[in-house]
């Protein structure tokens, strides 16, 4: 049991690092950005229903919540921004 808790905590700490970053190498910043983007897209597949995108297995995705709970709100905001940027671009081309 203790072992499990420890493993979970390790996972959690990792998540904090993942999102706040402890990276110095500038070249690596690009790689990191790409990793973040892939991860944000993955979050969309996992928790898209929170943004109104139906998810066939949202029930099973709940078990991932403990590991992403802290990032959920910031992620939703990032997604809203993304929508905003796309809308802005579209406006430039007179789509509507």
Partner 1 sequence: MRHFTFFGGKGGTGKTSCAASYALSLAARGVRTLVVSTDPAHSLADAFDKPIGFQTAPLCPNLWGLEIDAEVEAKKYMKSIQDKMLDLVSAAIVDEIKRQIEIAYMSPGAEEAAIFDKFIELMEAVGRDYDAIVFDTAPTGHTLRLLTLPEILGAWIEHLIEKRRKAMDLMKMAARYDKPLAERIANDPIIQTLTARREKFALARKYLTDPEASIFYFVLNPEKLPILETARAVELLSRHGIAVGGVVVNKVIPADAGPFLEKKRLSQEGYLREIRGRFSSMTIIELPMLDDDIQGMVQLQRISAMMEGLDS
63 binds partner 1 (CB under 8 A): yes
Q: Compute the least distance from the CB of residue 51 to partner 1, in Å.
A: 11
Tell me the window of 29-37, 77-85, 87-95 that interacts with partner 1 (CB under 8 A).
29-37
80 binds partner 1 (CB under 8 A): no
Contact 12, 67 (CB under 8 A): yes
Per-residue tokens: 72? 């959920």
Under DSSP, the state recorded for 51 is G
85 binds partner 1 (CB under 8 A): no
């Amino acid at each position: 049991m203790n072992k499990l808790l420890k493993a979970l905590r390790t996972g959690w700490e990792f998540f904090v690092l993942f999102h706040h970053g402890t990276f110095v190498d500038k070249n690596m910043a690009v790689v990191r950005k790409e990793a973040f983007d892939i991860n944000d897209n993955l979050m969309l597949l996992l928790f898209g229903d929170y943004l109104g995108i139906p998810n066939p297995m949202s029930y099973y995705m709940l078990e991932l919540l403990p590991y992403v709970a802290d990032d959920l709100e910031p992620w939703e905001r990032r997604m809203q921004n993304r929508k905003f940027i796309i809308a802005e671009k579209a406006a430039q081309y007179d789509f509507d």
